[in-house]
Chains A and B, each alone.
Chain A
Amino acid sequence: MNTSSLLAWVLLLAPLLSAFMIWAFLKPFPFLSQIVSVGACAISFLIAIGVALGSIHEPVTINWIDIGGLTVQLGMVFDSLSKVMLLVVTGVGLMIHIYSMGYMGEDPGRSRFFAELSLFMLSMLGIVVATNFIMMYLFWELVGVSSYLLIGFWFEKPSAANAATKAFLANRIGDFGFLLGIIMFWTFTGSLMFDPSLSSYFKGHPLVTIMALLLFCGCVGKSAQIPLHVWLPDAMEGPTPVSALIHAATMVAAGVYMLCRIFFVLEQSEQALEVIAWTGGITALVAALTATQQDDIKRILAYSTMSQLGYMVMAVGSSATIAAMFHLCTHAFFKALLFLGAGSILHVLHHEQDIWKMGGLWKKMPLTFLTFFIGTCALAGVPGFSGFYSKDTILEMVGEKNKMLFWLGLFTAGLTAFYMTRLFVLTFMGAPKSEVAEHAHESPFVMGLPMVVLSFFALVGGYSVVGIEKALGTTHEAMSQAAKLNVMILSVLVGLTGVGIGAFAYWNKQKEIVIFPLFKNKFYFDELYELTLLKLQQLLAGVFAWLDEWIIGFGIVRGSAFLVSVGGELLRVFQTGNIRSYAFIFGAGAAAILVFFLISS
């Protein structure tokens, strides 16, 4: 193995060692733990830069499992897709590691926090560089684990414990399908590699749609698409840096990344793509509608994340993988930024999350205000900010394929502008609406710095100077300039309308102006599942348990007479502990049977 090859493995080894060292040795030294964890992330970031510049090459693969026609390799793929993703994950990751030093500064469990954060970095980077399905599944499950641990970081809170379990289970259901899809792929091709040339094995096969949809299940769980989305809003129980890194910028986007990776499978089935596009579109719309009526700042952002993920999934379903990845990158910057801003607010407001108890923060927290403003503009799609370009690209591409989805996406864009304006106005503008908001002050520098860096990228991430789009390849040469212009004008108009209505309706308001119970109650998904699926599973378990008790009970009743007679003898064996007599009886019996059989033959 040469040096460059070894360096590539350091990408994964650094966070792995960090997690292990903190857990094994550094638990009692929180300051050292955070240095190690941040250092490990910085090393991964440097290597990601090396990879992006082309000075670090793909390492030699390792055969992890190789038996009877099943070969699982551990390797790394450095193509444009993974290079961009590596930079985003390690870059945003580093910012959030630094921010966490401030945010978690007083938490007694912060060693554990940083160990789990490193474990997350390892798993996430593993997904990005995976060369094959099983390697991806492996790290895919591990991000699920680290997400579980981090959502449940404050495990003494019952709500956090519930949210952690819920997240893991929803993801497991998705992974169930994902795994079936993977095994199907292997049955078709005899290989597990992400190799587009393998598609000749299943081209035109009637089962290819089923395989594609099963693989898509993994994304539905991880990227919180309807119907497995219910865990994401609850995941906000975790510390805010976790929400920013895992449940906004990177892990939830892994589903979209995976879809782009396996697009060579998905594109073989028009029906599967159609289902994917509609799943994404409906998720985008439902989440945006829900976001318009929420009061918890983190939940609004969570629904917004879900909605934006829906956008990306819709783009993949419309064969616009590059547009999806472009939006994934810009979204990672501005959504991480928004969460860090929200975290900064919560940090000084003593974890008051209700936007109706904020207000007037622009004066007290100027840096948070300014950076949050940039993030809001990017998300709302204000021209010139990064989100505008990536969202526009998606709308253009979707519009070419499916007009209905285009209008749905456009309407969602308007809603996005509306709910973000509502959030922004209620949080920063007007007069303070509570005691804590009165006494707010700016967060420490260590938290401010990452926000500044991220807002820079949220501002300029859309321009080709930064090169995200260029690195991924060209998106839309085929489209005429006129059509592009139309889409752009439409989306600007819709966005401005949303901003206008939001600002007009919520300026200086003290309480909600109009309540839509359907949106307020998140389309009753939790209640629906509670009543149907969970009840059904409980019923099944209850019936089986009853049956089981009955079988055992029956055995006891029927067996008791037998036990009394035979058992008396055996009991004596126990009480004396006399093994010899037991052994004798047993030996005699065995010998008798033996002789009987051999004679009878």
Chain B
Amino acid sequence: MSFVSVLLFVPLLAFIAIIFKVPARQAALGASLLNLFVSFWIYFQYDPKIQGFQFVQDIRWIQLPGLPEIHYHVGVDGMNLPLILLTTIVTLAAIIVAPEGIKRESEFYSYLLAISLGAIGAFVSLDLFFFYIFHEFALIPTFLLIGIWGSENRQFVSLQITLYLMVGSLVLLVGILALLVLLPQEARTFDIPRLIDYAKAHPLPISKEAVPFAFLLVGFGTLVSLFPFYTWAPAGYAVAPTPAAMLHAGVLKKFGLYGLLRVAIPLLPGGLEHWKSWLYILLLGNILYIGYVTIVQKELTTMLGYSSVMHMGYIFLGLASWNKIGISGVVVLMVAHGLSIALLFALAGEIKDRTGEIKFSELGGLGQRMPFISVAFVLASFASIGVPGLANFTGELLIFFGSWQAQPWITALAIWGIVISAVYQLRAVQSVFFGKLPAHLKDVEDLQGLAKKFPYLLLMASLLIIGMMPSSLLSVIKPTVEHYFSTN
């Protein structure tokens, strides 16, 4: 069995353990810790010099009448390996951050594990069927976490996010099917590498690719809050329990981007060509329009939700450039954004729990009472606004350079985003941590003890290591990206 499959079995075993009344938190902790080690083992064993997928496992699963064979086909290369690391790191952090003794505890932790399992499954699947199903499998617990454990207004918000993302997924499904229908009978397969090879050898006319690509773009785009399909995100993250927000914004949301990177654009490059100008307009909507909307938000979590929507614009910018530099930046920024937004949501949750406030107007001066949380928040903020030395900078830099080659003027407009994001992020830092401490916050406490600080330190260290040594990711990403573009 491939070690990649181990990553899927470990959470599964934890489920079974939880069913057999093993304490849920301990089981989840153990599973996510083990998975972190396994993912790092894969990372260190992975040989960037070998082309194609590694740790491959391909088992024929089922043959439904009229459909191509469905395989359990998994493997890693330079595009999904970084995302697997992201998933295992954020999962462990989210599980530790999750509150102890919450109501319906075993369900709560099972759902968290399910999101992680689904995300890993979607990232490692090389079969379209499993790729899609794993993501769906991860969405359901997300809805349940919001619907059952969310804060005020959770019923409405969970409905909204469910409908939104389900519709997005359905549009995506239609796109995938339309794509398969386009192909001649003998070329139809769910196998992604074979599909890519076929698409390279037999490019379709652009006119044929345009329609299915539109479905894929809107479908994947909705899942990543592409403008104007973003309204589910800020409200959803504001209501979601902290670990769910961390896992969805940090990890699961990247599925849509990964789908475009792995499936939509390689299979339908002509589709991207056809819709490129629209994509540029939409992503500027993410960066500039949502950027300005973020500036005037009045609550910390909503602001973070909007900021996350805004940052997706950069990743779309890299995807639209579709060259080596831009695509490398896309992978780096997916990981970096996932780490930084998970850290920010975790800290926002901590602040909410400790102060009972989430409005900027009610917060302030917390730096005096919470030195650790302040340092972590400032670092995460600097990461998120692309300060060098932290992971996001590398991703943004590569995307800007790559995108400039494709579209200098649009890129110049998009780079204005580095000013906008500094405005809202520093404003948040200032109004939460700086200034006078309001009387009702005189007794709030900082995080105490290494055990409690660990998830934060883990995320901060990841941001710093990738930021200072981009080669930690790029050494893996580069050969895959170069191989892809050299044979194109």
Contacts and interface: CB of A to CB of B under 8 A. Distances in A.
Interface of A: 23, 63-70, 134, 137-139, 141-142, 145, 148-149, 152, 155-158, 160-162, 164-165, 168-169, 172-173, 175-176, 179-180, 183, 186-187, 537-538, 540-542, 544-545, 548, 551-552, 555, 559, 563, 566-567, 570-571, 574, 577, 579, 582-583, 586, 589-590, 593-595, 597-601
B430 A165 contact: yes
Given A545-B293, A577-B107, A595-B66, A555 B231 contact: yes
A180 B388 contact: no
B367 A597 contact: no
B92 interface: no
A138 B397 CA distance: 10
13 contacts: A63-B471, A69-B325, A134-B397, A145-B387, A158-B435, A168-B422, A169-B426, A538-B296, A570-B159, A593-B173, A593-B177, A597-B178, A598-B180
A172 B415 contact: no
Contacts of B156: 563
Interface stretch (B40-48, B136-144, B202-210): B136-144
Given A180-B412, A563-B159, A70 B430 contact: no
Interface stretch (B81-89, B262-270, B401-409): B401-409
B419 A169 contact: yes
Contact of B292 (A64, A164, A169, A541): A541
B163 A566 contact: yes
A156 B419 contact: no
Given A67-B478, A145-B382, A593-B177, A544 B418 contact: no
B324 A67 contact: yes
Contacts of A571: 155, 159
A70 B325 CA distance: 7
B367 A155 contact: yes
A180 B140 CA distance: 43
Contact of B470 (A64, A563, A595): A64
Contact of A172 (B289, B412, B419): B419
Nearest to A24: B457
Given A67-B328, A134-B397, A187 B405 contact: yes
Contacts of B415: 176, 179-180
B400 A68 contact: no
B389 interface: yes
B190 to A, nearest CB: 11
Contacts of B324: 67-69
A176 B434 contact: no
Q: Which of B181, B404, B426 has the most CB of A within 10 A?
A: B426
Contacts of A65: 394, 397-398, 470-471, 474
A548 B412 CA distance: 25
A155 B231 contact: no
B368 interface: yes
Given A176-B418, A593-B177, 11 more contacts: A67-B398, A134-B397, A142-B387, A165-B430, A172-B419, A187-B405, A187-B408, A541-B292, A541-B296, A551-B231, A586-B136
A489 to B, nearest CB: 48
A67 B325 contact: yes
Interface in B325-378: 325, 328, 365, 367-368, 375, 378
Contacts, number: 174
A551 B232 CA distance: 12
A544 B471 CA distance: 39
Contact of B437 (A145, A156, A179, A579): A156
Q: Which of B375, B400, B401, B430 has the most CB of A within 10 A?
A: B401
A26 B140 CA distance: 46
B434 A158 contact: yes
Interface string B104-143: 0001000000000000000000000000000010001001
Nearest to A65: B470
B418 A175 contact: yes
A594 B427 contact: no
Contacts of B419: 169, 172-173, 176
Nearest to A597: B177
Interface in B173-209: 173-174, 177-178, 180-181
Contacts of A67: 324-325, 328, 398, 474, 478, 481-482
A330 to B, nearest CB: 31
B336 to A, nearest CB: 14
B201 to A, nearest CB: 21
B220 interface: no
Contacts of A594: 67, 177
Contacts of B67: 594, 598
Contacts of A544: 289, 292-293
Q: Range of interface residues on chain B?
A: 35 or more
B398 A70 contact: yes
B325 A68 contact: yes
Interface of B: 66-67, 107, 136, 140, 143-144, 147-148, 155-156, 158-160, 162-163, 170, 173-174, 177-178, 180-181, 228, 231, 235, 289, 292-293, 295-297, 323-325, 328, 365, 367-368, 375, 378, 382, 387-389, 393-394, 397-398, 400-402, 404-405, 408, 411-412, 415-416, 418-419, 422-423, 426-427, 430, 433-437, 470-471, 474, 478, 481-482, 485
A66 B478 CA distance: 9
A551 B229 CA distance: 11
Given A552-B231, A571-B159, A161 B389 contact: no
B398 A570 contact: no
A134 B367 CA distance: 33
A28 to B, nearest CB: 11
Contacts of A545: 292-293, 296-297
Contact of A161 (B323, B430, B437): B430
A160 B471 CA distance: 38
Contact of A158 (B367, B401, B436): B436
Contacts of B481: 67-68
A285 to B, nearest CB: 28
Given A574-B148, A598-B67, A172 B422 contact: yes
Nearest to A119: B389
B143 A574 contact: yes
Q: Which of A137, A537, A548, A593 has the most CB of B within 10 A?
A: A548
Nearest to A109: B371
A70 B399 CA distance: 11
A574 B158 contact: yes
A180 B292 CA distance: 21
A567 B328 contact: no
Given A141-B388, A593-B174, A161 B434 contact: yes
B412 A598 contact: no
B117 to A, nearest CB: 14
* Cβ-closest 5 pairs across A and B: A68-B324, A161-B434, A138-B388, A541-B292, A155-B434
B110 to A, nearest CB: 10
B292 to A, nearest CB: 4
A538 B402 CA distance: 32
A82 to B, nearest CB: 20
A552 B426 CA distance: 26
Nearest to B107: A577
Contacts of A574: 143-144, 147-148, 158
Nearest to A180: B412
A601 B162 contact: no
Contacts of B66: 595, 598-599
A595 B296 CA distance: 48
A162 B430 CA distance: 8
Nearest to A598: B66
A601 B212 CA distance: 14
A212 B436 CA distance: 43
Nearest to B114: A579
Contacts of A570: 159, 162-163
Q: Which of A64, A65, A134, A137 has the most CB of B within 10 A?
A: A65
A167 to B, nearest CB: 10
Contacts of A66: 474, 478
A574 B393 CA distance: 40
